[in-house]
Chain A
Amino acid sequence: MKKTFKGRPVIAGMAEGKAVVSRGGFNAYASFYNSLAEGVQIAICADRGNQDTYGKSLSGKILCIPSSTGSTSAGAVWQRIVGLGIAPKAVLFSHTIDSLAAGGLLVADIWVSKTICVIDQLGEEFLETVQEGDWIEIQENGTVIITVSKG
Protein backbone atom coordinates (compact mmCIF):
# COMPACT_ATOMS: atom_id res chain seq x y z
CA MET A 1 0.00 0.00 0.00
CA LYS A 2 1.23 3.48 -0.80
CA LYS A 3 0.56 6.64 1.17
CA THR A 4 1.35 10.11 -0.12
CA PHE A 5 2.28 13.19 1.87
CA LYS A 6 3.01 16.71 0.72
CA GLY A 7 5.60 18.90 2.41
CA ARG A 8 7.65 21.99 1.69
CA PRO A 9 10.82 21.45 -0.32
CA VAL A 10 13.57 23.26 1.59
CA ILE A 11 16.16 21.79 -0.77
CA ALA A 12 14.23 20.40 -3.71
CA GLY A 13 15.26 17.23 -5.48
CA MET A 14 14.33 13.68 -6.34
CA ALA A 15 15.43 10.65 -4.34
CA GLU A 16 14.32 7.23 -3.28
CA GLY A 17 15.50 4.78 -0.68
CA LYS A 18 14.82 3.02 2.59
CA ALA A 19 13.58 4.89 5.62
CA VAL A 20 15.45 5.25 8.89
CA VAL A 21 13.08 6.71 11.44
CA SER A 22 13.70 8.68 14.63
CA ARG A 23 10.54 9.29 16.61
CA GLY A 24 12.28 11.78 18.89
CA GLY A 25 14.54 14.73 18.05
CA PHE A 26 17.60 13.83 15.99
CA ASN A 27 20.93 15.00 17.43
CA ALA A 28 23.16 15.27 14.34
CA TYR A 29 26.33 15.97 16.31
CA ALA A 30 25.90 12.94 18.58
CA SER A 31 24.72 10.76 15.69
CA PHE A 32 27.60 11.50 13.30
CA TYR A 33 30.23 11.94 16.02
CA ASN A 34 32.22 8.87 14.95
CA SER A 35 31.83 9.43 11.21
CA LEU A 36 33.71 12.65 10.63
CA ALA A 37 37.19 11.37 9.84
CA GLU A 38 38.64 11.24 6.34
CA GLY A 39 38.14 7.81 4.82
CA VAL A 40 35.00 6.85 6.74
CA GLN A 41 32.88 4.84 4.29
CA ILE A 42 29.59 4.66 6.11
CA ALA A 43 27.91 6.72 8.83
CA ILE A 44 26.70 4.58 11.70
CA CYS A 45 24.55 6.45 14.21
CA ALA A 46 26.59 6.91 17.40
CA ASP A 47 23.92 8.58 19.52
CA ARG A 48 23.27 6.23 22.45
CA GLY A 49 20.50 8.55 23.55
CA ASN A 50 18.44 7.73 20.45
CA GLN A 51 17.40 4.11 20.59
CA ASP A 52 15.51 4.40 17.27
CA THR A 53 18.64 5.09 15.25
CA TYR A 54 21.61 4.08 17.43
CA GLY A 55 23.90 1.62 15.65
CA LYS A 56 22.09 1.91 12.31
CA SER A 57 23.59 3.01 9.02
CA LEU A 58 22.40 6.45 7.98
CA SER A 59 24.33 6.67 4.71
CA GLY A 60 22.17 6.63 1.61
CA LYS A 61 18.98 6.32 3.63
CA ILE A 62 15.93 8.54 3.83
CA LEU A 63 16.14 9.97 7.33
CA CYS A 64 12.69 10.67 8.79
CA ILE A 65 12.63 12.84 11.93
CA PRO A 66 10.42 15.34 13.72
CA SER A 67 13.20 17.95 14.07
CA SER A 68 16.77 18.08 15.28
CA THR A 69 18.22 18.76 18.73
CA GLY A 70 21.50 19.27 20.55
CA SER A 71 24.77 20.97 19.76
CA THR A 72 25.06 23.83 17.32
CA SER A 73 28.17 22.09 15.96
CA ALA A 74 25.61 20.20 13.89
CA GLY A 75 25.92 22.92 11.23
CA ALA A 76 29.46 21.90 10.39
CA VAL A 77 28.68 18.22 10.88
CA TRP A 78 26.17 18.29 8.02
CA GLN A 79 28.68 20.01 5.74
CA ARG A 80 31.28 17.38 6.58
CA ILE A 81 29.21 14.25 6.10
CA VAL A 82 27.75 15.56 2.86
CA GLY A 83 31.29 16.36 1.72
CA LEU A 84 32.48 12.86 2.61
CA GLY A 85 29.62 11.38 0.60
CA ILE A 86 28.20 9.46 3.56
CA ALA A 87 25.08 11.52 4.25
CA PRO A 88 21.52 10.27 4.02
CA LYS A 89 20.00 10.75 0.55
CA ALA A 90 17.27 12.90 2.05
CA VAL A 91 16.08 14.28 5.36
CA LEU A 92 12.33 14.47 5.93
CA PHE A 93 10.92 16.53 8.79
CA SER A 94 7.41 16.16 10.16
CA HIS A 95 7.70 19.63 11.75
CA THR A 96 9.01 22.86 10.25
CA ILE A 97 12.76 22.52 9.89
CA ASP A 98 14.73 23.86 12.88
CA SER A 99 17.50 26.42 12.62
CA LEU A 100 20.36 23.96 13.17
CA ALA A 101 19.32 21.56 10.47
CA ALA A 102 18.33 24.35 8.07
CA GLY A 103 21.67 26.10 8.43
CA GLY A 104 23.76 22.96 8.19
CA LEU A 105 21.95 21.42 5.25
CA LEU A 106 21.88 24.69 3.28
CA VAL A 107 25.59 25.28 3.86
CA ALA A 108 26.24 21.74 2.66
CA ASP A 109 24.12 22.34 -0.44
CA ILE A 110 25.62 25.70 -1.40
CA TRP A 111 29.24 25.30 -0.27
CA VAL A 112 29.84 21.61 -0.94
CA SER A 113 27.64 21.54 -4.06
CA LYS A 114 26.25 18.11 -3.24
CA THR A 115 22.50 18.22 -2.85
CA ILE A 116 20.55 16.04 -0.52
CA CYS A 117 16.78 16.51 -0.59
CA VAL A 118 15.23 18.21 2.40
CA ILE A 119 11.47 18.34 2.88
CA ASP A 120 9.76 19.69 5.98
CA GLN A 121 6.20 20.26 7.27
CA LEU A 122 5.14 16.71 6.41
CA GLY A 123 2.92 16.54 9.50
CA GLU A 124 2.49 14.25 12.48
CA GLU A 125 0.68 11.60 10.42
CA PHE A 126 3.76 11.20 8.23
CA LEU A 127 5.91 10.22 11.20
CA GLU A 128 3.14 8.01 12.60
CA THR A 129 2.87 6.22 9.25
CA VAL A 130 6.46 5.70 8.16
CA GLN A 131 8.19 2.60 9.49
CA GLU A 132 11.81 1.55 9.55
CA GLY A 133 12.78 0.08 6.18
CA ASP A 134 9.78 1.44 4.23
CA TRP A 135 10.60 2.43 0.66
CA ILE A 136 10.23 6.16 0.07
CA GLU A 137 10.08 8.17 -3.15
CA ILE A 138 10.56 11.93 -3.08
CA GLN A 139 9.55 14.32 -5.87
CA GLU A 140 10.81 17.81 -6.67
CA ASN A 141 7.61 19.49 -5.48
CA GLY A 142 7.84 18.04 -1.96
CA THR A 143 5.62 15.01 -2.55
CA VAL A 144 6.69 12.02 -0.47
CA ILE A 145 5.34 8.56 -1.30
CA ILE A 146 5.75 5.81 1.28
CA THR A 147 5.34 2.19 0.28
CA VAL A 148 4.05 0.98 3.62
CA SER A 149 5.50 -2.37 4.64
CA LYS A 150 3.68 -2.93 7.92
CA GLY A 151 0.47 -2.08 9.72
Chain B
Amino acid sequence: MDNLDLLKIQLSQDERDILRGSRGSMMQKVMETVVLYGEALNAEKLIPIEGPGHFVISFSSPGIAPSIKMLEELVAAGLRTQYQFTLDPRGALDFENLNLKPEVERALLDMYEHQDYYEQLLTKLGLRDNQAFTCNPYQPEVGNIPDRGTILAWSESACAIFANSVLGARTNRNGAIMDLLSNIIGKTPLAGLLTDEGRCASWLVDIVTDDLPSPHLLGAAIGRKVMADVPYIVGLDRFLSPDLDSFTVDYLQDMGAMCATYGAVGLYHVENITPEAIDFGQDLLKSEYSTLRIDEPELSNILDSFPQLWENEKDVPEKCFIGCPHISLRQLYWWAEAIQQELKLVGQEQVAVETILCSAPQILEKFMKDKEVNLILKSAGVKLSPCCCETIFETGLKAGHPVITNSNKLRAYSSARFLPDDELVQVLVTGELTEAAHEKDL
Protein backbone atom coordinates (compact mmCIF):
# COMPACT_ATOMS: atom_id res chain seq x y z
CA MET B 1 0.00 0.00 0.00
CA ASP B 2 1.72 3.13 -1.22
CA ASN B 3 0.31 6.04 0.72
CA LEU B 4 -1.46 5.34 3.98
CA ASP B 5 -2.29 9.02 4.40
CA LEU B 6 -4.79 8.82 1.55
CA LEU B 7 -6.94 6.43 3.57
CA LYS B 8 -9.91 7.77 5.53
CA ILE B 9 -9.93 4.87 7.98
CA GLN B 10 -7.98 5.62 11.18
CA LEU B 11 -5.12 3.19 11.73
CA SER B 12 -3.21 2.49 14.92
CA GLN B 13 0.59 2.59 14.94
CA ASP B 14 0.67 -1.21 15.16
CA GLU B 15 -1.59 -1.53 12.12
CA ARG B 16 0.56 0.93 10.20
CA ASP B 17 3.67 -1.01 11.12
CA ILE B 18 2.12 -4.26 9.91
CA LEU B 19 1.16 -2.55 6.65
CA ARG B 20 4.85 -1.61 6.27
CA GLY B 21 5.90 -5.22 6.80
CA SER B 22 6.87 -5.35 10.48
CA ARG B 23 5.38 -8.85 10.84
CA GLY B 24 6.29 -10.24 7.45
CA SER B 25 4.98 -9.96 3.93
CA MET B 26 2.07 -12.38 4.38
CA MET B 27 0.70 -10.58 7.44
CA GLN B 28 1.21 -7.33 5.52
CA LYS B 29 -0.96 -8.67 2.70
CA VAL B 30 -3.66 -9.89 5.08
CA MET B 31 -3.71 -6.52 6.85
CA GLU B 32 -3.87 -4.66 3.53
CA THR B 33 -6.92 -6.69 2.52
CA VAL B 34 -8.74 -6.07 5.80
CA VAL B 35 -7.85 -2.35 5.88
CA LEU B 36 -9.08 -1.77 2.31
CA TYR B 37 -12.22 -3.71 3.19
CA GLY B 38 -12.75 -1.30 6.08
CA GLU B 39 -12.08 1.66 3.81
CA ALA B 40 -14.69 0.38 1.32
CA LEU B 41 -17.24 0.05 4.13
CA ASN B 42 -16.51 3.61 5.33
CA ALA B 43 -15.30 2.22 8.65
CA GLU B 44 -14.01 4.62 11.25
CA LYS B 45 -11.34 2.13 12.33
CA LEU B 46 -10.65 -1.55 12.93
CA ILE B 47 -11.74 -3.01 16.27
CA PRO B 48 -10.73 -6.25 18.01
CA ILE B 49 -12.70 -9.43 17.42
CA GLU B 50 -13.86 -10.76 20.78
CA GLY B 51 -14.94 -14.35 20.18
CA PRO B 52 -14.74 -17.53 18.07
CA GLY B 53 -15.53 -17.37 14.39
CA HIS B 54 -17.95 -19.20 12.16
CA PHE B 55 -17.04 -19.37 8.49
CA VAL B 56 -18.73 -20.45 5.28
CA ILE B 57 -15.57 -21.94 3.78
CA SER B 58 -16.03 -25.64 4.59
CA PHE B 59 -15.80 -27.00 1.04
CA SER B 60 -12.56 -27.51 -0.77
CA SER B 61 -14.21 -27.07 -4.17
CA PRO B 62 -12.78 -24.13 -6.13
CA GLY B 63 -14.99 -21.10 -6.23
CA ILE B 64 -16.66 -21.83 -2.92
CA ALA B 65 -13.48 -21.74 -0.86
CA PRO B 66 -10.12 -20.06 -0.72
CA SER B 67 -7.61 -21.75 -2.96
CA ILE B 68 -5.32 -24.40 -1.49
CA LYS B 69 -2.39 -22.23 -2.57
CA MET B 70 -3.66 -19.31 -0.52
CA LEU B 71 -4.15 -21.49 2.57
CA GLU B 72 -0.68 -22.99 2.14
CA GLU B 73 0.81 -19.51 2.05
CA LEU B 74 -1.00 -18.49 5.23
CA VAL B 75 0.07 -21.68 7.03
CA ALA B 76 3.66 -21.37 5.81
CA ALA B 77 3.79 -17.89 7.30
CA GLY B 78 2.75 -19.34 10.66
CA LEU B 79 -0.54 -17.46 10.76
CA ARG B 80 -3.70 -18.63 12.52
CA THR B 81 -6.90 -17.09 13.82
CA GLN B 82 -6.84 -15.53 17.27
CA TYR B 83 -9.92 -17.55 18.32
CA GLN B 84 -10.84 -21.01 17.07
CA PHE B 85 -13.60 -21.24 14.50
CA THR B 86 -16.41 -23.53 13.39
CA LEU B 87 -17.34 -24.12 9.76
CA ASP B 88 -20.40 -24.78 7.62
CA PRO B 89 -21.26 -28.46 6.99
CA ARG B 90 -19.07 -30.71 4.92
CA GLY B 91 -20.09 -31.60 1.40
CA ALA B 92 -22.19 -34.68 0.69
CA LEU B 93 -19.44 -37.28 1.08
CA ASP B 94 -21.20 -39.53 3.59
CA PHE B 95 -22.44 -41.76 0.80
CA GLU B 96 -23.69 -44.45 3.22
CA ASN B 97 -26.51 -42.09 4.22
CA LEU B 98 -27.38 -40.67 0.84
CA ASN B 99 -27.89 -43.51 -1.65
CA LEU B 100 -26.61 -41.48 -4.60
CA LYS B 101 -26.12 -42.70 -8.14
CA PRO B 102 -22.54 -43.74 -8.94
CA GLU B 103 -22.04 -40.82 -11.34
CA VAL B 104 -23.11 -38.35 -8.63
CA GLU B 105 -20.73 -39.95 -6.13
CA ARG B 106 -17.90 -39.71 -8.67
CA ALA B 107 -18.68 -36.04 -9.31
CA LEU B 108 -18.69 -35.31 -5.58
CA LEU B 109 -15.39 -37.12 -5.09
CA ASP B 110 -13.92 -35.02 -7.90
CA MET B 111 -15.28 -31.81 -6.40
CA TYR B 112 -13.84 -32.62 -2.99
CA GLU B 113 -10.69 -34.34 -4.16
CA HIS B 114 -8.54 -32.28 -1.78
CA GLN B 115 -10.98 -32.10 1.15
CA ASP B 116 -8.77 -33.96 3.65
CA TYR B 117 -5.75 -31.79 2.91
CA TYR B 118 -7.93 -28.69 2.89
CA GLU B 119 -9.17 -29.53 6.39
CA GLN B 120 -5.63 -30.18 7.60
CA LEU B 121 -4.72 -26.66 6.49
CA LEU B 122 -7.79 -25.16 8.15
CA THR B 123 -6.97 -27.01 11.36
CA LYS B 124 -3.55 -25.36 11.34
CA LEU B 125 -5.29 -22.03 10.80
CA GLY B 126 -7.61 -22.46 13.83
CA LEU B 127 -10.46 -24.89 13.03
CA ARG B 128 -11.87 -25.98 16.43
CA ASP B 129 -12.04 -29.75 15.80
CA ASN B 130 -12.93 -32.28 13.12
CA GLN B 131 -16.63 -32.25 14.06
CA ALA B 132 -17.06 -28.47 13.97
CA PHE B 133 -19.08 -28.54 10.74
CA THR B 134 -22.63 -27.20 10.76
CA CYS B 135 -24.65 -24.17 9.69
CA ASN B 136 -26.36 -24.17 13.11
CA PRO B 137 -23.31 -23.71 15.35
CA TYR B 138 -25.11 -21.95 18.21
CA GLN B 139 -27.11 -25.06 19.13
CA PRO B 140 -26.10 -26.04 22.69
CA GLU B 141 -24.69 -29.38 21.49
CA VAL B 142 -22.26 -27.52 19.19
CA GLY B 143 -21.55 -24.65 21.53
CA ASN B 144 -20.36 -21.73 19.41
CA ILE B 145 -22.71 -19.34 21.20
CA PRO B 146 -21.42 -15.77 21.38
CA ASP B 147 -22.57 -13.52 24.21
CA ARG B 148 -24.62 -10.46 23.55
CA GLY B 149 -22.51 -7.54 22.34
CA THR B 150 -19.52 -9.69 21.35
CA ILE B 151 -17.71 -8.32 18.30
CA LEU B 152 -17.31 -11.00 15.61
CA ALA B 153 -16.39 -11.40 11.97
CA TRP B 154 -18.67 -14.23 10.85
CA SER B 155 -19.76 -15.34 7.43
CA GLU B 156 -22.52 -17.77 6.35
CA SER B 157 -25.48 -15.50 5.82
CA ALA B 158 -27.84 -17.64 7.93
CA CYS B 159 -25.43 -17.61 10.88
CA ALA B 160 -24.45 -13.94 10.77
CA ILE B 161 -28.09 -12.84 10.84
CA PHE B 162 -28.86 -15.22 13.74
CA ALA B 163 -25.84 -14.11 15.76
CA ASN B 164 -26.86 -10.46 15.32
CA SER B 165 -30.59 -10.79 15.78
CA VAL B 166 -31.24 -13.57 18.27
CA LEU B 167 -27.99 -13.60 20.24
CA GLY B 168 -27.37 -9.86 20.05
CA ALA B 169 -23.73 -10.30 19.03
CA ARG B 170 -22.28 -7.92 16.44
CA THR B 171 -21.00 -9.01 13.07
CA ASN B 172 -21.19 -7.76 9.55
CA ARG B 173 -22.11 -10.14 6.72
CA ASN B 174 -18.55 -11.00 5.82
CA GLY B 175 -17.85 -12.91 2.66
CA ALA B 176 -15.92 -16.14 2.32
CA ILE B 177 -12.15 -15.58 2.73
CA MET B 178 -12.62 -12.16 4.33
CA ASP B 179 -13.97 -14.11 7.32
CA LEU B 180 -10.69 -15.99 7.67
CA LEU B 181 -8.43 -13.01 6.99
CA SER B 182 -10.24 -10.77 9.51
CA ASN B 183 -9.94 -13.43 12.21
CA ILE B 184 -6.24 -13.89 11.48
CA ILE B 185 -5.70 -10.17 11.99
CA GLY B 186 -8.06 -10.37 14.97
CA LYS B 187 -9.79 -7.19 13.89
CA THR B 188 -12.80 -6.18 11.82
CA PRO B 189 -13.99 -2.83 10.45
CA LEU B 190 -16.16 -0.73 12.76
CA ALA B 191 -18.98 -0.21 10.28
CA GLY B 192 -22.52 -1.24 9.49
CA LEU B 193 -23.99 -3.75 11.93
CA LEU B 194 -21.18 -3.22 14.43
CA THR B 195 -22.40 0.29 15.15
CA ASP B 196 -25.45 1.39 17.17
CA GLU B 197 -26.66 3.45 14.21
CA GLY B 198 -26.26 0.53 11.81
CA ARG B 199 -28.48 -1.62 14.02
CA CYS B 200 -31.46 0.74 13.80
CA ALA B 201 -34.37 -0.32 11.63
CA SER B 202 -35.56 1.45 8.50
CA TRP B 203 -38.55 -0.88 7.98
CA LEU B 204 -41.52 -1.61 10.19
CA VAL B 205 -42.79 -5.05 9.13
CA ASP B 206 -46.32 -5.74 10.34
CA ILE B 207 -47.35 -9.42 10.36
CA VAL B 208 -51.15 -9.58 10.21
CA THR B 209 -51.69 -13.28 9.46
CA ASP B 210 -54.18 -15.22 11.58
CA ASP B 211 -51.66 -18.00 12.22
CA LEU B 212 -47.91 -18.22 12.56
CA PRO B 213 -46.62 -18.04 8.97
CA SER B 214 -44.09 -20.46 7.51
CA PRO B 215 -40.66 -19.02 8.40
CA HIS B 216 -39.45 -19.97 4.93
CA LEU B 217 -42.12 -17.87 3.22
CA LEU B 218 -42.08 -15.03 5.73
CA GLY B 219 -38.30 -14.68 5.50
CA ALA B 220 -38.53 -14.55 1.71
CA ALA B 221 -41.26 -11.89 1.85
CA ILE B 222 -39.15 -9.74 4.17
CA GLY B 223 -35.81 -10.28 2.44
CA ARG B 224 -36.96 -9.44 -1.07
CA LYS B 225 -38.49 -6.16 0.06
CA VAL B 226 -36.06 -5.00 2.74
CA MET B 227 -32.88 -6.05 0.89
CA ALA B 228 -29.89 -4.87 2.96
CA ASP B 229 -31.84 -2.84 5.50
CA VAL B 230 -32.79 -3.74 9.06
CA PRO B 231 -36.47 -4.65 9.67
CA TYR B 232 -38.34 -4.22 12.95
CA ILE B 233 -41.00 -6.95 12.93
CA VAL B 234 -44.25 -6.65 14.88
CA GLY B 235 -47.00 -9.24 15.24
CA LEU B 236 -44.89 -12.35 15.69
CA ASP B 237 -45.03 -12.06 19.45
CA ARG B 238 -48.61 -13.37 19.21
CA PHE B 239 -47.10 -16.75 18.33
CA LEU B 240 -43.53 -16.89 19.65
CA SER B 241 -42.13 -17.02 23.17
CA PRO B 242 -40.14 -14.14 24.67
CA ASP B 243 -38.14 -16.78 26.53
CA LEU B 244 -36.51 -17.77 23.25
CA ASP B 245 -37.51 -21.39 23.75
CA SER B 246 -36.22 -23.95 21.28
CA PHE B 247 -39.28 -23.63 19.02
CA THR B 248 -38.81 -19.87 18.79
CA VAL B 249 -35.07 -20.19 18.21
CA ASP B 250 -35.64 -22.72 15.41
CA TYR B 251 -38.30 -20.54 13.84
CA LEU B 252 -36.07 -17.46 13.90
CA GLN B 253 -33.15 -19.48 12.48
CA ASP B 254 -35.22 -20.56 9.47
CA MET B 255 -36.80 -17.14 8.96
CA GLY B 256 -33.45 -15.38 9.14
CA ALA B 257 -31.84 -17.76 6.67
CA MET B 258 -34.52 -16.83 4.17
CA CYS B 259 -34.24 -13.08 4.84
CA ALA B 260 -30.54 -13.42 4.03
CA THR B 261 -31.07 -15.57 0.94
CA TYR B 262 -33.69 -13.35 -0.67
CA GLY B 263 -32.09 -10.11 0.34
CA ALA B 264 -28.96 -9.05 2.15
CA VAL B 265 -30.49 -8.72 5.59
CA GLY B 266 -27.93 -9.13 8.36
CA LEU B 267 -30.08 -8.19 11.34
CA TYR B 268 -33.76 -8.12 12.26
CA HIS B 269 -35.55 -7.15 15.44
CA VAL B 270 -38.72 -8.94 16.55
CA GLU B 271 -40.86 -6.96 18.96
CA ASN B 272 -40.88 -8.42 22.48
CA ILE B 273 -38.77 -11.39 21.34
CA THR B 274 -35.21 -10.52 20.30
CA PRO B 275 -32.89 -8.94 22.89
CA GLU B 276 -32.48 -5.45 21.47
CA ALA B 277 -36.21 -5.21 20.67
CA ILE B 278 -37.00 -6.18 24.27
CA ASP B 279 -34.67 -3.50 25.61
CA PHE B 280 -35.35 -0.64 23.22
CA GLY B 281 -38.68 -1.45 21.52
CA GLN B 282 -39.68 0.83 18.68
CA ASP B 283 -36.97 3.30 19.64
CA LEU B 284 -34.91 1.11 17.32
CA LEU B 285 -36.82 2.53 14.37
CA LYS B 286 -35.11 5.36 12.53
CA SER B 287 -36.97 8.67 12.42
CA GLU B 288 -38.00 7.91 8.86
CA TYR B 289 -38.95 4.36 7.99
CA SER B 290 -40.97 2.41 5.45
CA THR B 291 -43.79 0.03 6.34
CA LEU B 292 -44.38 -3.46 4.98
CA ARG B 293 -47.61 -5.31 5.78
CA ILE B 294 -47.55 -9.08 5.36
CA ASP B 295 -50.79 -11.04 5.14
CA GLU B 296 -51.81 -14.47 3.85
CA PRO B 297 -52.22 -13.40 0.19
CA GLU B 298 -48.70 -11.92 0.22
CA LEU B 299 -47.29 -15.26 1.41
CA SER B 300 -49.37 -17.18 -1.14
CA ASN B 301 -47.94 -14.96 -3.87
CA ILE B 302 -44.42 -15.89 -2.73
CA LEU B 303 -45.28 -19.60 -2.83
CA ASP B 304 -46.88 -19.27 -6.27
CA SER B 305 -43.83 -17.42 -7.61
CA PHE B 306 -41.50 -20.42 -7.20
CA PRO B 307 -40.66 -21.84 -10.61
CA GLN B 308 -41.23 -25.55 -11.23
CA LEU B 309 -37.78 -26.83 -12.25
CA TRP B 310 -38.26 -30.57 -12.44
CA GLU B 311 -37.74 -32.06 -15.88
CA ASN B 312 -41.25 -33.47 -15.65
CA GLU B 313 -43.55 -31.77 -13.20
CA LYS B 314 -45.69 -34.91 -12.87
CA ASP B 315 -42.76 -37.06 -11.76
CA VAL B 316 -42.96 -38.97 -8.51
CA PRO B 317 -40.66 -37.43 -5.89
CA GLU B 318 -37.37 -39.30 -5.71
CA LYS B 319 -35.67 -37.82 -2.66
CA CYS B 320 -36.53 -35.51 0.21
CA PHE B 321 -34.00 -33.34 2.05
CA ILE B 322 -34.85 -31.72 5.37
CA GLY B 323 -32.22 -29.62 7.10
CA CYS B 324 -31.08 -26.57 5.16
CA PRO B 325 -30.06 -24.97 7.45
CA HIS B 326 -29.25 -27.94 9.71
CA ILE B 327 -32.13 -28.81 12.01
CA SER B 328 -31.98 -28.81 15.79
CA LEU B 329 -32.48 -31.73 18.18
CA ARG B 330 -36.05 -30.56 18.80
CA GLN B 331 -36.74 -30.49 15.06
CA LEU B 332 -35.28 -33.99 14.64
CA TYR B 333 -37.76 -35.29 17.21
CA TRP B 334 -40.58 -33.31 15.60
CA TRP B 335 -39.91 -34.88 12.21
CA ALA B 336 -39.54 -38.36 13.71
CA GLU B 337 -42.94 -38.06 15.36
CA ALA B 338 -44.62 -36.45 12.35
CA ILE B 339 -43.38 -39.19 10.03
CA GLN B 340 -44.37 -41.91 12.47
CA GLN B 341 -47.88 -40.51 12.85
CA GLU B 342 -48.39 -40.13 9.11
CA LEU B 343 -47.19 -43.68 8.51
CA LYS B 344 -49.70 -44.97 11.06
CA LEU B 345 -52.45 -42.89 9.48
CA VAL B 346 -52.00 -44.43 6.05
CA GLY B 347 -51.03 -47.89 7.34
CA GLN B 348 -47.50 -48.00 5.94
CA GLU B 349 -44.25 -49.10 7.52
CA GLN B 350 -41.84 -47.13 5.35
CA VAL B 351 -41.76 -43.74 3.66
CA ALA B 352 -42.26 -43.80 -0.09
CA VAL B 353 -39.69 -41.07 -0.76
CA GLU B 354 -36.07 -41.49 0.33
CA THR B 355 -35.84 -38.98 3.16
CA ILE B 356 -32.68 -37.53 4.67
CA LEU B 357 -32.63 -35.38 7.78
CA CYS B 358 -29.51 -33.18 8.00
CA SER B 359 -28.15 -31.90 11.29
CA ALA B 360 -24.92 -31.12 13.15
CA PRO B 361 -22.64 -34.08 13.98
CA GLN B 362 -22.97 -33.44 17.72
CA ILE B 363 -26.77 -33.33 17.52
CA LEU B 364 -26.92 -36.52 15.47
CA GLU B 365 -24.65 -38.23 17.97
CA LYS B 366 -26.95 -37.27 20.83
CA PHE B 367 -30.07 -38.20 18.87
CA MET B 368 -28.67 -41.60 17.96
CA LYS B 369 -28.31 -42.45 21.64
CA ASP B 370 -32.10 -42.56 21.77
CA LYS B 371 -32.36 -46.12 20.47
CA GLU B 372 -36.16 -46.23 20.43
CA VAL B 373 -36.69 -43.23 18.16
CA ASN B 374 -33.78 -44.23 15.98
CA LEU B 375 -35.24 -47.66 15.46
CA ILE B 376 -38.52 -46.08 14.40
CA LEU B 377 -36.77 -43.84 11.86
CA LYS B 378 -34.56 -46.64 10.62
CA SER B 379 -37.56 -48.92 10.17
CA ALA B 380 -39.31 -46.16 8.29
CA GLY B 381 -36.35 -45.88 5.92
CA VAL B 382 -35.34 -42.36 6.99
CA LYS B 383 -31.61 -41.53 6.98
CA LEU B 384 -29.60 -39.03 9.00
CA SER B 385 -26.70 -37.02 7.62
CA PRO B 386 -24.33 -34.27 8.80
CA CYS B 387 -23.77 -33.03 5.23
CA CYS B 388 -24.77 -29.90 3.36
CA CYS B 389 -27.42 -31.36 1.07
CA GLU B 390 -27.12 -28.43 -1.32
CA THR B 391 -23.72 -29.70 -2.43
CA ILE B 392 -25.35 -32.65 -4.19
CA PHE B 393 -26.92 -30.20 -6.58
CA GLU B 394 -23.59 -28.50 -7.19
CA THR B 395 -22.52 -31.55 -9.18
CA GLY B 396 -25.13 -30.47 -11.71
CA LEU B 397 -26.22 -34.09 -11.97
CA LYS B 398 -29.34 -33.70 -9.89
CA ALA B 399 -30.62 -30.63 -11.71
CA GLY B 400 -34.20 -31.24 -12.74
CA HIS B 401 -34.54 -34.46 -10.76
CA PRO B 402 -37.65 -34.75 -8.64
CA VAL B 403 -36.38 -33.73 -5.21
CA ILE B 404 -38.60 -32.21 -2.53
CA THR B 405 -37.64 -30.16 0.52
CA ASN B 406 -39.12 -28.00 3.26
CA SER B 407 -36.27 -25.51 2.79
CA ASN B 408 -36.87 -22.46 0.68
CA LYS B 409 -33.12 -21.82 0.83
CA LEU B 410 -32.34 -25.19 -0.76
CA ARG B 411 -35.08 -24.52 -3.30
CA ALA B 412 -33.54 -21.16 -4.17
CA TYR B 413 -30.13 -22.73 -4.95
CA SER B 414 -31.30 -25.90 -6.70
CA SER B 415 -34.12 -27.47 -8.68
CA ALA B 416 -35.69 -28.95 -5.56
CA ARG B 417 -39.37 -28.30 -4.99
CA PHE B 418 -40.51 -26.55 -1.80
CA LEU B 419 -43.40 -27.90 0.23
CA PRO B 420 -44.51 -26.62 3.64
CA ASP B 421 -43.86 -29.03 6.53
CA ASP B 422 -47.38 -30.41 6.90
CA GLU B 423 -47.70 -31.04 3.17
CA LEU B 424 -44.20 -32.44 2.89
CA VAL B 425 -44.78 -35.11 5.51
CA GLN B 426 -47.80 -36.40 3.58
CA VAL B 427 -45.89 -36.46 0.30
CA LEU B 428 -42.81 -38.20 1.64
CA VAL B 429 -45.00 -40.93 3.14
CA THR B 430 -47.35 -41.46 0.19
CA GLY B 431 -44.93 -40.61 -2.60
CA GLU B 432 -47.62 -38.60 -4.33
CA LEU B 433 -47.84 -34.87 -4.62
CA THR B 434 -50.89 -33.52 -2.86
CA GLU B 435 -53.75 -31.88 -4.74
CA ALA B 436 -52.56 -28.51 -3.52
CA ALA B 437 -49.15 -29.05 -5.07
CA HIS B 438 -50.69 -30.16 -8.36
CA GLU B 439 -53.08 -27.24 -8.44
CA LYS B 440 -50.13 -24.90 -8.17
CA ASP B 441 -48.74 -26.40 -11.39
CA LEU B 442 -51.94 -25.76 -13.34
**A interface with B by C-beta (< 8 Å):** 10, 25, 29-30, 32-34, 36-38, 48-49, 67-81, 83, 96-104, 106-107, 110-111, 120
Contact = CB atoms under 8 A, between A and B. Distances in A.
B264 A10 contact: no
Contacts of B177: 75-76, 79, 103-104, 107, 111
Interface string B209-230: 0000000000000010001100
Contacts, number: 133
A37 B227 CA distance: 29
A70 to B, nearest CB: 6
B264 A71 contact: no
Interface stretch (B37-45, B115-123, B200-208, B360-368): B37-45
B36 A106 contact: yes
B264 A70 contact: yes
25 contacts: A29-B413, A32-B63, A33-B413, A36-B61, A37-B63, A69-B263, A70-B157, A72-B157, A74-B176, A75-B178, A75-B179, A77-B63, A81-B63, A96-B42, A98-B173, A99-B41, A99-B174, A99-B175, A100-B175, A106-B40, A107-B33, A107-B177, A110-B36, A111-B177, A120-B40
Contact of A72 (B56, B262, B413): B56
Contacts of B173: 72, 98-100
A76 B65 contact: yes
Given A72-B155, A72-B160, A111-B33, A25 B264 contact: yes
Given A107-B175, A110-B32, 8 more contacts: A70-B157, A70-B264, A71-B157, A76-B64, A80-B63, A100-B175, A106-B40, A107-B33
B62 A38 contact: yes
B172 interface: yes
A32 B176 CA distance: 15
A10 B41 CA distance: 10
Interface string B269-301: 000000000000000000000000000000000
Across the A-B interface, give the 8 residue pairs with the lowest CB-CB distance, nearest first: A75-B175, A36-B63, A103-B178, A80-B63, A103-B175, A75-B176, A76-B176, A102-B40
